[in-house]
Amino acid sequence: MKVYIVRHTSVDVPYDIFYGQTDVPVRENSFVEEATRVKEKIAPLSFDAVFTSPLTRCVRLATFCGYGDAMRDERLKELNFGDWEWVFVYELHSPEVENWFKHQIEQPTPNGESFIDMKARLMQFISEQKAKGYQRICLFAHGGIHLCAQMLHGKTFKDDIFMHLPPYGSVIEYEF
């Protein structure tokens, strides 16, 4: 099954803040330009089904691209940062934070989840869609979902996983 994952456009949040599942706004001054580029990338494609994270930044892009009826699925949300939602974690200097950055793939954030947890929910979602017989689907989702898709394809991350996020508005095809 071909899965096209579309990362949402730029968000209007301070740089280096962990916003994860917080429902943040898109950057208004660049949304139309970024969304138009995404729409042009996916316009020639056809999909058996289109899904979106229920967070506004993804739903708004899906709607702009002509998929206002995209099916919302909680499993497509960004990483749940728990106690670190809306925190400048890079500015925190504590053993807990330093340990998490060393083990961020398998270790959950305080009262949040790990990338292994998010990868499992993405794999469950993909398995469910394959079982329905879909050949080509589109997901409007987040950078973390892209990273988990890469992990499902065997990619390993030796350093800060966030250094590997695809750009906002990326459209990447994965084969599952």
pLDDT at position 148 is 98
Report the distance separating Cα 128 and Cα 67, nearest Å: 21
Encode pLDDT of 20-71 as tens digits: 999 999 999 999 999 999 999 999 999 999 999 999 999 999 999 999 999 9
What SS3 state is found at 138? strand
The DSSP call for residue 11 is: B
**What pTM, to 2 d.p., does this model score?**
0.96
pLDDT at 143: 97
Q: Which pLDDT score, from 0 to 100, does residue 62 have?
A: 98
Q: Check: CB of residue 171 under 8 Å from CB of residue 6.
A: yes
Q: Which amino acid is at 5?
A: I
What is the per-residue pLDDT for 92?
A: 85
pLDDT (tens digit, 0 to 9) for every residue of the chain, 176 residues total? 999 999 999 999 998 899 999 999 999 999 999 999 999 999 999 999 999 999 999 999 999 999 999 999 999 999 999 999 999 988 888 899 999 999 999 999 999 999 999 999 999 999 999 999 999 999 999 999 999 999 999 999 988 999 999 999 999 999 99
pLDDT value, residue 91: 87
Residue 151: per-residue pLDDT: 97
Q: In 43-75, which positions are buried (b, 16+ CB within 10 angstroms) versus exposed (e)?
A: eeeebeebbbbebebbbbbbebbebeebeebeb
For residue 2, the SS3 value is strand
What does pLDDT average to over the chain?
Answer: 96
